[in-house]
Amino acid sequence: MSSIDTLTTPLGGPTLPQERRLVTSIPGPRSQQLLDRKAAAVAAGVGHTAPVHAVAAGGGVIVDADGNSLIDLGSGIAVTTIGNAHPKVVAAVQAQIAQFSHTCFMISPYESYVEVAEALNRITPGDHVKKSALFNSGAEAVENAIKIARKYTKKQAVVAFDHGYHGRTNLTMALTAKAMPYKSGFGPFASEIYRAPMSYPYRDGLTGAEAAKKAISIIEKQVGADNLAAVIIEPIQGEGGFIVPAEGFLPAVLDWCRANGVVFIADEIQTGFARTGAMFASDLFGIVPDLITTAKGIAGGLPLAAVTGRAEIMDASHAGGLGGTYGGNPVACAAALAAIDAFETEGLLERAREIEGVLTGRLSEIQIADPRVGDIRGHGAMIAAEFIDPETGDPDAALTAAVAKACIAQGVIVLTCGTYGNVIRFLPPLSIPDALLHEGLDVVAEALRAA
Ligand SMILES: Cc1ncc(COP(=O)(O)O)c(C=O)c1O
C-alpha cells in the first residue's frame, strides 16, 4: 500500500471518503435536472463527458449532487494534477482573495506574478536566461508564443503537426489538426499555418530519425526555412491520442530549427507539471525548447497559462504588445505558487511514475488477453490505450466510445481522445489512492470484456 492509500481530502469542510459509491444510476435525478437546465440555458456547442453535476472533488473522487462518488481518471483534462482543492492552493487562494482580487498587472504590477515568472524561468528546461508572460488559457498562451516568435524572427509561417491540438481560438484552430469537433464550420482559419507529419511509431513504423527526415523534407519543400518563424509541437500529443514520438524525433526537429533560425515551441499545456513523471515532457526527451507554453496543471485548477523562453526571444515584443486584462490574475498566481511548491516538495514526480507502473502493468495484462487493445503508451500519469479491430488493425472508435460510456455508468470517469476517436486516456490526479486506481481499472477491464 502506498502512503496515500488511506487519504481523505480536506475541502475546507468535511473530508471525502476515497471510494466509488453509486447510490443512483448515472445520471441520478438531481444531475438530470441540472442537465435539463444546461440544455435550456447553455450553448449546445459546450459539451460534457460525464452526465453528472459535481458538488465536491478531492483525492481521486468526484462527488455528484445525488451523492454518487465517481473515480476520477481525467483530472478535468489534466488540470488537477496535484489533486482537487489541494490544501495549499485553498489556503493561498483564500488569503489572496481577501487581500485583493485584481488590479491588472499592466496597470499596477504585484509580486506574485513576478514570483510565478521567476519560478517558471527556474523550473522549465534549460539553464539559459529566460523570461515569462502570463495569460488565462492554454490557447491564449499558444497565440502569444506564435506572436512572440513572429516578432523575433520577422517571419510569418508556422508549422504544426498531424494529430496536434493547440486550442479553440482562431489561430489555435488553424494549428489544430482534427476537423470534428474542433474546426468544422468555424473557418476561415488563420493563414500561414502548415502541417508536417508527426512521428507515430505504432502506425508509421518509422524510427525517430526517419520520421524527422520526412517531416523536415516536407517543411523545407513546402514552406522553406526562410519563411518559417516557428515549429510548434506537443512533446507527447494530448487530444491527438497520447502519441509518443519515436526516440530521436524531437531532438532532430529541434536541431534543424536551431540550424535554420526557426523558433522551436514546445506546447506542454497538457504534459507539463509532473504529469509525465518529469516536471516537463521535454526533460524526458532531453530537449531544451526555445519557448514553452504551459497551463492546465500550473495552478491546481485555477485559470492560468504562460509562455516561458529565451530572454532575447521573449523580449522581442514592444511594450504593450503582450498582455490582457486578466492575464496573471493575483488569485491564480497565488494558486500557482502553492501548486509549484507542491510539485517541488511533495514527491509528485515519483508519484506520477508510480502511477505509470500501475497503469501500464494493468493495461498490459488486459492487452495480453484482448487483441482489441492495439497499443499502450505514454509516460507517468498520462497513459493511453488505443483500440483496434484485430483483423485489420483499423481504429475502433465505436468500441472505444462503448467502453468509455460503460465506465462512466459504473462510476469511473475516463476520457477518450485520438484523431480516430479510438483512444482511452488515463489522466488521474496524482492524489488518487492506489486502491481506487486499481478499482477504476477493474471497471475498465470489465467494460471492455462486456463490449
Ligand atoms: C496541448 C494543448 N495545447 C493547448 C490547449 C488549449 O488549452 P485551453 O483549453 O486552456 O485553451 C490544450 C487543451 O487541451 C492542450 O492540450
pLDDT per residue over 191-203, tens digit each?
A: 999 999 999 999 9
Q: Give, using CA atoms, the residue closest to atom 8 of ligand 1.
A: 138
Judged against a pLDDT cut of 90, whether residue 4 lies above it is answered with no
Q: CA distances (Å), 200 to each of 31, 197, 255, 299, 375, in order?
A: 40, 9, 20, 31, 11
Q: How far does the centroid of ligand 1 lie from the alpha carbon of residue 21, in Å?
A: 31
pLDDT band at 15 (very low <50, low <70, confident <90, very high): confident
Ligand 1 pocket, residues with Cβ under 6 angstroms: 77, 137-139, 142, 165-167, 234, 238-239, 267, 269-270, 295
The residue contributing the CA closest to ligand 1 atom 10 is 138
50 CA distance to ligand 1 centroid (A)? 19
Residue from 163, 166, 169, 293 to probe ligand 1 pocket by mutation (most atoms less than 8 Å from CB): 166
Which class for 35: exposed (0-12), middle (13-18), buried (19 or more C-beta within 10 A)? middle
Q: What burial class does residue 329 get, using C-beta atoms within 10 Å of its C-beta: 0-12 exposed, 13-18 middle, 19+ buried?
A: buried
In a 3-state reduction of DSSP, which class is residue 57?
A: strand
pLDDT digits (tens, 9 = 90+) for 407-451: 999 999 999 999 999 999 999 999 999 999 999 999 999 999 999
The total of other beta-carbon atoms located within 10 Å of residue 190's CB is: 16
Closest atom, ligand 1, to C-alpha of 271: 1
| Residue given cell 526562410 in the structure block | 226
Rounded mean pLDDT of 126-150? 98
Query: Cα 184 to chain center, whole Å?
Result: 22
Mean pLDDT of 31-38: 98
